[in-house]
Structure 1
Amino acid sequence: MSDCIIVVDHAEKRFGEQVALRDVSVSFEAGKIHGIIGRNGSGKTVLFKCIVGLMPLTSGSIQVNGRHIETGKTVPDDIGAIIETPGFLPNYSGFRNLKFLATLRGRIKDAEIRKAMQQVGLDPESRKHVGKYSLGMRQRLGIAQAINAKGEIMLFPVMQTSIPPKTRNLRMESGQLAFNCCEPPIRSMAAAFTILPQSSQR
């Protein structure tokens, strides 16, 4: 348990009478790529939102790096995450978008932004506006932003395109945890998988 960077303990999330998560207990070791597999509506994205502190649990607990997550009180600053569809300014280039976000943190250099974009297969010198990006390109730009967050944990929920191999290698080589959430069937991921069954909602 000491090697686990995320620990979910008897997590339950209800929306009125609807149960999104029922008694979910799972832990994730640091330095590995993990995958959560489940059908539509099985609670994958809900679990991710609870992990990053965007949504409170009805009962149970979540720890990230040994800290209990309390929505509105504890938001992990060591997580780079994409929750659902990445949101960017459509009338600016990918680099300009990441530059705007980097300004908020005040610690990310232009060279780091360019490197992150190249690692996910995007050209940082391209003037193409994000509004003209394909879905896959926007998702890759979101991964680049997650890389720039420099967190120990990276969450990529419901990705429709595969994570580029260079990105997977980067996460593993740096000892960080890469975390992906997919609809089955899954084609290939070098990972240990957690299955979140649809029946957990009932």
Structure 2
Amino acid sequence: MTIIDLKNISKSYKGLVLFENTNLAIEKGKIYGLTGPNGSGKSVLFKMMCGFIFPDQGTVTIRGKQLGKDNRFPEDFGIIIDRPGYIGNKTGFENLKYLAMINRKISDEQIKETMIKVGLQPAAKQKVKEYSLGMKQKLAIAQAIMEDQEILLLDEPFNALDVDSVENIRGLLKSLKDKGKTIVLTSHNQEDIDLLSDHIYRVRNFTLEKIK
């Protein structure tokens, strides 16, 4: 079952041509890895999938519904794109609590359980402004998965993580896939892509080239 369908996508961003007549069909319950050099358009592709920006030409369809002005942001997406911003003088739990209040779908206990899964201590009084880069990355992953989102778009989820944390997050993503989640991710580490992905695409010559 195709859950995300990009058809004949063309996109220029800040004066640069990134994609021309690009197609991609993402099946439910699979992990897709995207590779390509910095500036090749991976983050822009993610932004088009979740309705943050629109393609210049072509269509983006999520669960059979085309994204547009009347259907801007698809539901049930967990997203890491660029570096998420947080309230520096609040704890990790307090930040996630504020985000959870938007949809009111999960309890405090579910937030705490998610923090533990990614390797954070929910009872810690440490402010986010005092977090290491690795801890901020774990917090980003926690916000992306804590509401049991169906589709995860994860741009460099392993950035700044130590070896043990990388192993933990790899295992977590595999378990989410086993539960039927659809995951699209990027990583500068080819090993992450190779170990996790059912399908791998490379951004090359303004399109997506399938390599697995």
Same fold (TM over 0.5): yes
Q: Which residue of the other structure, out of 187, 190, 198, is the alignment partner of 1:186?
A: 190
Shift of 1:32: 1.4
Shift of 1:16: 6.6
| Residue ranges of structure 1 left out of the alignment (5+ in a row) | none
Match of 1:53 in 2: 51
Residue 173 (str. 1) matches residue 178 (str. 2): yes
| Alpha-carbon separation, structure 1, partners of 2:47 and 2:9 | 12
Instruction: Note the alpha carbon deviations across 1:150-174, whole angstroms, 9 max, x for none.
Output: 3210111133244713421331122
SS in 1 for 2:190: coil
SS in 1 for 2:116: helix
Match of 1:111 in 2: 109
| Alpha-carbon separation, structure 2, partners of 1:64 and 1:167 | 24
Which AA in structure 2 matches 1:190? Answer: L
Shift of 1:18: 2.3
| Alpha-carbon separation, structure 2, partners of 1:172 and 1:63 | 21
- Conserved in 2, the CA contact under 8 Å of 1:89 and 1:130? yes
* Counterparts in 2 of 1:17 and 1:173: CA distance versus 1, 3 Å: closer
- Conserved in 2, the CA contact under 8 Å of 1:53 and 1:71? no
Match of 1:200 in 2: 206
SS in 1 for 2:201: strand
- Conserved in 2, the CA contact under 8 Å of 1:119 and 1:166? no
SS in 2 for 1:187: helix
- Conserved in 2, the CA contact under 8 Å of 1:153 and 1:178? yes
| Alpha-carbon separation, structure 2, partners of 1:131 and 1:35 | 31
SS in 2 for 1:23: strand
Instruction: State percent identity of aligned pairs.
Output: 31
SS in 1 for 2:191: coil
| Residue ranges of structure 2 left out of the alignment (5+ in a row) | 208-212
SS in 1 for 2:87: coil
| Alpha-carbon separation, structure 2, partners of 1:168 and 1:16 | 33
Per the normalisation by structure 2, the TM-score is 0.86
| Alpha-carbon separation, structure 2, partners of 1:172 and 1:15 | 32
Instruction: Note the alpha carbon deviations across 1:101-133, whole angstroms, 9 max, x for none.
Output: 111212210111011111111111111111111
SS in 1 for 2:124: coil
Count of residue pairs the alignment pairs up: 197
SS in 1 for 2:134: helix
Residue 20 (str. 1) matches residue 18 (str. 2): yes
Match of 1:96 in 2: 94
- Conserved in 2, the CA contact under 8 Å of 1:79 and 1:149? no
Per the normalisation by structure 1, the TM-score is 0.90
Residue 66 (str. 1) matches residue 64 (str. 2): yes
Match of 1:123 in 2: 121
* Counterparts in 2 of 1:109 and 1:17: CA distance versus 1, 3 Å: closer
| Alpha-carbon separation, structure 1, partners of 2:120 and 2:73 | 29
